[in-house]
Amino acid sequence: MTLIWAALSSGAIYALLAITYNVVYTSVGVFNFAQGAILALGAYISYWAVDQLKWPPLLGVLLAAAVCAAAGALEARVVLLPKAFEHAELLTTVGAATIIVGIVAIFWTEIVRQPTSPVSGRTFTVFGGRVDADQLILVGLAIVMTAGLEVWYRFTLRGRASLAVAENRKAAELRGINVRAKSYGAFILAGALAGIAGAFVGPETYIYPELGNTLVLVAFVAFVLGGSGSLLGGTVGGLLLGLIENLTARYVGTDYTDLIVLGVLLGTLVALPNGIFGGQRVRTI
Amino acid sequence: MRRSTVMASSAIALIGMGLAACSSGSSGSGSAGTTSSSKAPFTVLAIVASSGGLAAVTQAEVSGMKAAAKYVNAHGGISGHQVKISVENDNLDPTTAASLLQKAVSSGSTPPDLVYAGTTSNEALAMMPILTQDKIFSLQVDVSDQTIDPATHPYAFSLATSSEDFALEVAATTKAHYPSAKKIGMIIGNDVNGTSLLQSEKPAFEKEGYAVSVEQYNPSTTINMVPQLEALRATNPQVLLASGFGAAAGYILKARSQLGWNIPVVGDASFSSNPLTSIASASALKGVNVLSSAPQIYKPLSSQSTAFNMLYKAVAPANGAFTVSFNLYEFGWDEIMVAQAAAKQAGSFGTAPMTQAMEHLKDTNNPMYLLGTYQYSATSHTPIRSLSSATLSSPYTKNGQSLPFGQR
């Protein structure tokens, strides 16, 4: 059971990143490769505030959210400019990721660091398996973030307006929705969520500038597996991939984990192009 | 339609992201010369990972090189030739490393007299065909069998003990400290460096009479080691041999704690080069020891050599807290000192005379060398040394050096 907890914890990290992918994708239709780098930035900001400046952890999380929201806004400023060719925004987000990683390396160097959390070092036995408090928090955070966003999208006017933009930008604009503001809002929200996630991911993974690049591939597969645009799908996909990856490493061999993860990606694209939760998208008029 | 097109484009861009990231590193160069000379300089080109997960390791090695070059230049250079060091950043990417080297040797300018090929075996391996084809002398820390092999790469030398000798030292030292143990568990990366170490260490432990079980991890993608350690625990080893740089070392210790597994840990050279006390708690370090050579064990500065003190003064952080092992600075220092000895003996910077001089180096025990003696032969391009200098030491450090076994 200890293995299952470790797998769910890894899966929660992928899920948190997949959630932020979905926030941008749902509103703008763009896959934002920079989310991993923004998550790592959040981890560093929180580390700086809490471990170096000795601020209270909550303030560290809030600062990480604010800085990463600003990073998202800056990125949106470039990504949302009119492009000369189709899908140029994808390359723009890759460039943004590279720039963010470089900035983090300049400020904090490449040395691996271990952020602490108020619960660091506490281990519990749950269902017969040993689990660190930081790991339980990660799993809980993924669930809470998914539920909160689902409620916001389904039951608030602003959330439903965001979904309307995703569905048909021109129709939404004709209905008086400020599409450009919604797009900016998606990048800012995704940035803030990645910042919050980073503050909790850091104590589990350690932090180094390329942390986001380490996570981006599996999180992308989680995003595809669960169903692009589906928050619940991203979370379920992340947790499933955590289990697949860890159980493969345990019972088959580490050499096969990447192979199987990429196999899941290809299998999903072929058999379930819209992912597990992305199939019900036909509208009745 | 748009959705599927975006997904396909995203998948392609994701693959390209690694390439984009690989090209992000900046390159820089710097001369360590302090006095002018009319003679052409002795040029050293270091193609290393100045960014990426091992940047701190690289920075230490390059700092050691520059400190040594400064010392040599201040004392007349190598037979009047100033030492000039250039650094190119390969961002830990073998393809970039090979491209940078190809550019350096084919740009029409004079090729470097000495290349320091890579922070890791992966980069060194990518550069070796070019170094061999263009007959360029190289001296590095890498000890992979695939790179430091006089039969295939006749101009490549290493500053570090061969992986076979190192493995024998690890096995013998482990045996000395844990004489009743019969089974060893090994956790090691599946990259070129890890696989090369595994090929040497597993037979060495088996030769000592141990049963060996092995689990490998992917250093680029692993974020927890519970699966690997749980698989190892199922084989009931009595000692765990741990290998890994950076976050991987932390993941090993963290997984051991989470599993509540109190097995003694022996960290190899890669493991001991990490700032273990800053990535693991005191409880996680309980029962952990690391392999060190005699020069790596802490001694007060007053007991150290003049060369050690010069290097220490040149590179010590203001707060005295080293983030990587001082050993890494010493490798950089010895790089220049050994090259100087070979060049003086050869009377030329040409690759053939330098290689010949290295294989018959007379100045094997210079007091300016920090990591021991340097003796090579036509069949061994790694230093030929006694196998008795290795020992187990504490994971705690002082002045960047390991404290003796049991101390903290």
- Are residues A6 and B226, on separate chains, in Cβ contact within 8 Å? yes
Mean pLDDT over each residue of chain B, to the nearest integer: 85
Pick from A80-89, A101-110, B182-191, B275-284: least confident: A80-89
- Could you tell me what percentage of chain B is helix, strand and coil, using 3-state DSSP and rounding each to the nearest 5? 40, 15, 40
CATH 3.40.50 given to domain A2-271: no
Alpha helix (H) ranges present in chain A?
2-28, 35-47, 57-79, 88-108, 133-155, 157-167, 169-174, 179-205, 211-226, 231-251, 257-271
At residue B145, the pLDDT reads 75
B406: Cβ contacts below 8 Å, ≥ 6 apart: B394
Structural tokens at position B356: 């010949």
Read off the pLDDT of residues A223-252 as tens digits, 9 standing for 90 and up. 988 888 788 888 999 999 999 999 999 999
**What confidence category does residue B92 fall into, taking pLDDT thresholds of 50, 70 and 90?**
confident
Fold of B163-298+389-404: Rossmann fold (3.40.50)
- Are residues A6 and B5, on separate chains, in Cβ contact within 8 Å? no
Q: For residue A110, give the nearest of B55, B260, B275 by CB distance.
A: B55
Residue-range domain boundaries for chain A: 2-271
- Chain A, residues 102-141, CB within 8 A of chain B, namely 102, 105, 109-114, 120-121, 123, 130-132
Helix (H), strand (E) at residue B192: helix B192-207
Contact B303, B403 (CB under 8 A): no
At residue B13, the pLDDT reads 46
At residue B35, the pLDDT reads 45
Read off the pLDDT of residues A192-221 as tens digits, 9 standing for 90 and up. 999 999 999 999 999 999 899 889 988 998
Read off the pLDDT of residues A41-82 as tens digits, 9 standing for 90 and up. 999 999 999 999 999 999 999 999 999 999 999 998 887 776
- Are residues A210 and B216, on separate chains, in Cβ contact within 8 Å? no
pTM value is 0.80
Helix (H), strand (E) at residue B229: helix B226-233
Residue by residue, DSSP assigns B75-143 as: TTTBTTBPEEEEEEE-TT-HHHHHHHHHHHHHSSSPPPSEEEE-SSHHHHHHHHHHHHHTT--EEES--
At residue A50, the pLDDT reads 95
- Are residues A101 and B260, on separate chains, in Cβ contact within 8 Å? no
DSSP state at residue A256: G
- Are residues A255 and B190, on separate chains, in Cβ contact within 8 Å? yes
Q: What CATH code is assigned to B25-161+325-359?
A: 3.40.50.2300
Q: For residue A97, give the nearest of B9, B17, B218 by CB distance.
A: B17
Q: For residue A3, give the nearest of B227, B260, B280 by CB distance.
A: B227
Which residues partner with B85 through β-bridges?
Answer: B44
User: What is the rounded distance in angstroms from the CA atom of residue A232 to the CA atom of residue B256?
Assistant: 33
By C-alpha distance, which of B404, B395, B394 is closest to B298?
Answer: B404
User: What is the rounded distance in angstroms from the CA atom of residue B106 to the CA atom of residue B245?
Assistant: 34
Q: Which residue of A has its CA nearest to B57?
A: A111
Q: How far is B80 from chain A (nearest CA, A)?
A: 37
Structural tokens at position A67: 């800085």
Q: Where in chain B is the domain with CATH 3.40.50.2300?
A: 25-161+325-359, 163-298+389-404
Q: Which residue of B has its CA nearest to A31?
A: B10
Kindly report the backbone phi and psi dihedral angles of residue A77, in degrees, each rounded to the nearest multiple of 5, phi listed first. Answer: -55, -35
At A230, is the secondary structure helix, strand, or coil? coil
- Are residues B278 and A94, on separate chains, in Cβ contact within 8 Å? no
Q: Give me the total of CB pairs closer than 8 Å, taking one residue from chain A and one from chain B.
A: 163
